[in-house]
Structure 1
């Protein structure tokens, strides 16, 4: 590496811990990617990735190697905290050796141990590993770790990886789409994924941290934006639709981040160029100021919907978690729902849209509108309820967990709960 580039790296690393800054001396070659990411390698074959910087010179990742063995990796998360990967940190899981994930506020901090995952040979990545406790990860950490795996596999010339673990969930499938592309010749990719037979091709995204505080993911286009604690997604990736209430969309030559519900934009929050630079922070009109309780039947209906589309062993715990919720309409800025313990505030913008839709509708149409709103809120709260249900099941004894997996508790009257919730929404909006 020439002296000018070396001096530039040292400048970019000013203020970083010594054990990160000294990686600059190991850099043999650098590469600049499509959207301006600078990747520094410790070898001319470009197999030992050491440092990553975005186009604004923000440090994204620092990896330390002992010869060809990864000693540790530190990767910036969307909220600017850090995810640490500790290889071969434990032994005893069903798969043998495990790597450990840590979370720290800064790159130099020790942080908090999060969970374990199936150990990888990081110099020869050959699979997508099983993660022990996904619910323990902070927002964006799973996608960030998978992007590291995809990037290293790509560096190593690995064209295909598979996930053969015990948890081939739809959520994992959707998350993998952010850093991989599945084999397009597969007739039913989700079914193949569930069987552990889907080929994934590494296709890592680049990240840009803007001066305004957004974290932007790019491949051929802006695919995801993390802004003010919310992740905005495209509603489709590689032809696969996803629920995207915080949505990235193209409008008049720009990329717009919007709150999306009932088939339309409820509020725009951020406008960017197609390259991910912030054009402007959108100042929307204030939300309707009204506050008011939402009938308890609605919480039970939400639980019924979420349970119906989740793993059967979680159904009873999901419905119990939903039953404990207290729902209210409230004026919210930049979000559709806010969860604080068992209190959930739902945006008054949604209530206003519901009220308008109900005004001149027939009884059947009113029920359809109320069902659409109930489903919308259930989808908004689904991940929270599933996480709480998983935590509840984890507290059971091993025999109780085994019994639940083998013979899930019979579901309650789903249709009755949903019907009562729809009637309550239609009557009180």
Structure 2
């Protein structure tokens, strides 16, 4: 770290242990004039403080995205303005979907770092969007205080305090971005983020998983309770040991029944806001699915075409060898759920775009009186499970 004023802990620069510049802050008198922070893909996010005034919260800071440190870049979105010399809260972001991958977590880590520099014991988020996604992102840079009940529930009602606990980032010579906080917590490798399945006792979906294997840390594709493919091996302090060569896999492509797509839509709709239900099921119904050879991915989506990894199929086929029919159906249901979780964000984005294209009166009606759950949800999932099991 490099500080302009050691007494006030006014940070100027942050570099990783290899000398890679991570953060550059420019101060003017007692205010932040400009902040630039490197993203996992090595592009830059720029914070323009006090950039505009207006609804819904008055003054806002603006975010820009640029390919280089010096470039002005393109305006992305804005968030509730902070006093960067006295960070007192976690701000509300206007349009999270406009941010590049990893940008939200990167900005939150800057906020956490400055709050810790300033001696803040805790911050709160009291904005209008206390989503589960924001909650899990905050876990990367803050420790939550002990909650009287489920911490996510406490967060959603604005009752959870967050202690600044920023992570260390390291850009390795092999181009991995490694996040450490007592251990390797996350790795971004070739545009894919690998996570621990548990952080601070909170479990989360981690199909792209960071796991410990002896004294090594391995980034793996994970499904049905096992590693489907190992991708990258690191030391316990985040140095890359080796890029793991992919094992052999079948090269054939095999189409999946249309009922599998409908089952995916039923699962995603059941776990999303009701207003998106019909659009989600329609978006899933348009998908064409097939088993295919993939490296480094469990699923690949291009337009309405979705490929599922042949390695996942092999793991499913092994699970289906159980003499118990219930065990076989359970494995197929787990695989269907895994695919639904992997495709869920993309399907929700399509559904949201479809709803946003409706006349304002129809959008309002959907929000005020959302449609009831589809009556055939259970049957759609059951049929999809049978079709998926047959394909294995």
Sort the TM-score into its range (normalised by shorter chain): over 0.9
| Structure 2 residue corresponding to 1:426, chosen from 379, 389, 392 | 389
Is 1:194 matched up with 2:117?
Answer: no
**CA-atom RMSD in angstroms:** 1.5
Instruction: State whether residues 288 and 352 of structure 1, in contact with CA within 8 Å, keep that contact through their aligned partners in structure 2.
Output: no
Measured after TM superposition, the shift of residue 118 of structure 1 is: 1.3
1:316, 1:233 → 2: CA distance?
31
Question: What secondary structure, in the 3-state scheme, does the structure 2 residue paired with 1:317 have?
Answer: helix
Is 1:172 matched up with 2:134?
Answer: yes
Aligned to 1:293: 255
| Structure 2 residue corresponding to 1:395, chosen from 352, 357, 360 | 357
Is 1:92 matched up with 2:54?
Answer: yes
Measured after TM superposition, the shift of residue 171 of structure 1 is: 0.9
1:337-356 matches, cutoff 5 A: 337-356=299-318
1:249, 1:363 → 2: CA distance?
31
1:353, 1:390 → 2: CA distance?
33
1:103-114 matches, cutoff 5 A: 103-114=65-76
2:304, 2:48 → 1: CA distance?
35
Measured after TM superposition, the shift of residue 279 of structure 1 is: 0.9
1:371, 1:184 → 2: CA distance?
35
1:317, 1:133 → 2: CA distance?
21
Measured after TM superposition, the shift of residue 46 of structure 1 is: 4.2
Is 1:240 matched up with 2:202?
Answer: yes
1:157, 1:56 → 2: CA distance?
28
TM-score by length of 1: 0.88
| Structure 1 residue corresponding to 2:296, chosen from 321, 325, 334 | 334
Aligned to 1:417: 380
1:17-416 matches, cutoff 5 A: 39-412=1-374, 413-416=376-379
Question: What secondary structure, in the 3-state scheme, does the structure 2 residue paired with 1:121 have?
Answer: coil
Question: What secondary structure, in the 3-state scheme, does the structure 2 residue paired with 1:42 have?
Answer: strand
Measured after TM superposition, the shift of residue 63 of structure 1 is: 1.2
1:313, 1:163 → 2: CA distance?
26
Question: What secondary structure, in the 3-state scheme, does the structure 1 residue paired with 2:101 have?
Answer: coil
TM-score by length of 2: 0.96
Distance 1:222 1:59, change over 3 A: same
Aligned length: 391
Cα displacement string for residues 333-383 of structure 1 (whole angstroms, at most 9, x for unaligned residues):
111111222221111101112222224544333322211110111111112
Distance 1:111 1:275, change over 3 A: same
Cα displacement string for residues 283-332 of structure 1 (whole angstroms, at most 9, x for unaligned residues):
13122212111211111111111111122222222222212222111111
Measured after TM superposition, the shift of residue 116 of structure 1 is: 1.6
Instruction: State whether residues 263 and 381 of structure 2, in contact with CA within 8 Å, keep that contact through their aligned partners in structure 1.
Output: yes
Distance 1:397 1:87, change over 3 A: farther
Distance 1:57 1:312, change over 3 A: same
Question: What secondary structure, in the 3-state scheme, does the structure 2 residue paired with 1:258 have?
Answer: strand
1:64, 1:402 → 2: CA distance?
44
Distance 1:102 1:393, change over 3 A: farther
Instruction: State whether residues 316 and 411 of structure 1, in contact with CA within 8 Å, keep that contact through their aligned partners in structure 2.
Output: no
